[in-house]
Amino acid sequence: MQTFNTNEMTQQFDNLFMAPARAFMTLSIDYSEKMLNAQFDANKAYVDNGIAQMRQLMSVKDAEGLRSYMEGQQKVAKELAERVKGDADKVVALQQDFLQKGQKLTEENVKQAQAAASKMSKTA
């Protein structure tokens, strides 16, 4: 009668299924955290900018102050456009990093599965 080594089976199951799943979950959680932090930072900057603009508008008391405020809006619009572009670039970089790391994990897991299958076919 043949005895089964459950420890070896458990280890193989962990190596083939659970370890890759944990690696992908870790990658996904890290990506999600970075993406949420980027969104929070961007939102805070946009809100702070909006509040600053409202405060500045409220301080307008005459035509000269209004003219000055309106001229300053061009600078604000330019800065905001640059901020949006920078935020978009940051998101694209995060996505590309996630994709590259995901592909690398997939390739490593396929190689590991092929090696395990080869080993199992030799012992069978």
Model confidence over 32-73: pLDDT tens digits? 999 999 999 999 999 999 999 999 999 999 999 999 999 999
- 11-25, 40-54, 99-113: range with lowest mean pLDDT: 11-25
76, two tokens: 């604000």
What is the spatial distance between Cα 72 and Cα 65, in angstroms, rounded to a whole number? 11
What is the spatial distance between Cα 22 and Cα 111, in angstroms, rounded to a whole number? 17
Tell me the chain's radius of gyration from C-alpha atoms: 27
User: How high is the mean pLDDT of the chain?
Assistant: 90
Prediction pTM value: 0.75
Helical H runs in 1-124?
6-13, 19-58, 63-123
